[in-house]
């Protein structure tokens, strides 16, 4: 037996175990099992405490159709909770327990994650005193469709991981090696594959609106586009390969009123490059409603600047 290599392997496994154990110790007290009852029957999931006064983050689909339910923590504490607000288009919801006391888990920034990075999924499925699995980030920048009635939205920058997600883990935490929550587990996409809604600047805005208003206000331009390549010389000058070619403009919409036409290629909006539908969609949150949004576009090989005023999406 190669004792030298065995020692190295053992040391690596010990280090791996210490990281996973440390994350579990840090986060399990903050994670609750949620039970809800609706007209469609009983549902269950997990939730993560993110404030000291009892606000928890979970998936919108976990609490869909419910006004409240029961939260059970790993230390045996059971308390009622109310649904503060849910946003099916991001699959995020905020609930608040009647008897706060669980420690707040720190929220991080999923935009800093890297492929291959260790992540730990922590849930409390069906009150089984906590569930912890570990794996790596196996994909970034994935997209996940979400629907609210007739409205369809793409959840962008979804985290893909091979950390096993057990039944009831939806709404639980996906954490990095420091125990910082970087995502909310949202779906089991297939064998050995899990997805999580990222914690980043966009979702932080959504969470803030849910806490403050119980809903998420979204802005509307009335334009649909598809990614299209920019002319090589312009792409090199702008250091941007793609824009959004306009394929539909709703008559009387903010885009139509601003003078955006079919065939235009949107290059930037609000100073941000618009190389994908998600990039434009990311700007369409509450603060954009009624505010000037300057757009630079390409029309017949000429750069054109227009100013739109997004309206509220009803």
Residue 115 has pLDDT above 70, yes or no: yes
The segment(s) of the chain belonging to CATH 2.40.10.10 are 110-200
Q: Give backbone dihedrals phi and psi of 205, rounded to 5 degrees, phi first.
A: -65, -40
pLDDT range class, residue 152, cuts 50, 70, 90: low
What is the percent of the chain where pLDDT is above 70?
Answer: 88
Q: Name 164's Cβ contacts closer than 8 Å, sequence gap at least 6.
A: 121, 133, 135, 192, 194
The segment(s) of the chain belonging to CATH 2.30.42.10 are 219-312
Q: Which run of H or E residues covers position 3?
A: helix 3-27
- 110-200 is a CATH 2.40.10.10 domain: yes
The residue with greater pLDDT, 152 or 135, is 135
Q: Name 248's Cβ contacts closer than 8 Å, sequence gap at least 6.
A: 223, 224, 262
d(CA 304, CA 265): 10
Q: Cite the active site residues.
A: 61, 91, 170
Residue 190 has pLDDT above 60, yes or no: no
pLDDT (tens digit, 9 = 90+) per residue, 244-291? 999 999 999 999 999 999 999 999 999 999 998 878 888 888 889 999
- Which CATH number among 3.40.50.970, 1.10.287.70, 3.90.180.10, 2.30.42.10 corresponds to the domain 219-312? 2.30.42.10
What is the percent of the chain where pLDDT is above 90?
Answer: 65
d(CA 123, CA 177): 16
d(CA 64, CA 23): 29
Are the beta carbons of 235 and 229 closer than 8 angstroms? yes
Over residues 291-301, mean pLDDT:
95
Lowest mean pLDDT: which of 156-170, 271-285, 290-304? Answer: 156-170
d(CA 146, CA 60): 10
Residue 154 has pLDDT above 70, yes or no: no
Q: How many CB atoms lie within 10 A of CB 204?
A: 12
Q: Which run of H or E residues covers position 208?
A: helix 201-213
Residue 202 has pLDDT above 90, yes or no: no
DSSP conformational letter for 126: G
d(CA 198, CA 158): 6
Query: In sequence order, what are the beta bridge partners of 159?
Result: 196
Rg (CA), the chain: 22
Q: How much is the pLDDT for 12?
A: 61
Q: Which run of H or E residues covers position 256?
A: helix 254-258
Residue 2 has pLDDT above 60, yes or no: no
Residue 80 has pLDDT above 70, yes or no: yes
């Amino acid at each position: 037996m190669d004792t030298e290599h065995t020692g190295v392997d053992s040391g690596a496994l010990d280090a791996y175990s210490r990281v996973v154990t440390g994350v579990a110790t840090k986060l399990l007290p903050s994670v609750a099992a949620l039970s809800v009852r609706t007209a469609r029957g009983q549902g269950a999931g997990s939730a993560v405490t993110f404030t000291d006064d009892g606000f928890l983050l979970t998936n919108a689909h976990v609490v869909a159709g419910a006004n409240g339910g029961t939260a059970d923590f790993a230390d045996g504490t059971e308390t009622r909770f109310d649904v503060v607000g849910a946003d099916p288009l991001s699959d995020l919801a905020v609930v608040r327990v009647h008897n706060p006391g669980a420690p707040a888990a720190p929220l991080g920034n999923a935009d800093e994650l890297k492929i291959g990075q260790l992540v730990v999924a922590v849930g409390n499925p069906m009150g089984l005193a906590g569930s912890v699995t570990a794996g790596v980030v196996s994909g970034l920048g994935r997209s996940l469709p979400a629907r609210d009635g007739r409205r369809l939205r793409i959840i962008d920058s979804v985290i893909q991981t091979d950390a096993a997600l057990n039944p009831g883990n939806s709404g639980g935490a996906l954490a990095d090696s420091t125990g910082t929550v970087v995502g909310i587990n949202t779906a089991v996409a297939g064998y050995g594959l899990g997805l999580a809604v990222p914690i980043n600047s966009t979702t932080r805005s959504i969470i803030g609106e849910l806490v403050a208003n119980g809903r998420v206000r979204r802005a509307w331009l009335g334009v649909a586009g598809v990614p299209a390549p920019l002319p090589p010389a312009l792409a090199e000058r702008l250091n941007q390969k793609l824009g959004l070619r306009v394929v539909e403009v709703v008559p009387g919409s903010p885009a139509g009123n601003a003078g955006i036409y079919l065939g235009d290629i949107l290059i930037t909006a609000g100073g941000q490059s618009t190389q994908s539908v998600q990039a434009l969609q990311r700007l369409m949150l509450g603060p954009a409603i009624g505010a000037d949004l300057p757009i630079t576009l390409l029309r017949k090989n000429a750069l054109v600047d227009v100013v739109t005023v997004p309206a509220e999406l009803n």
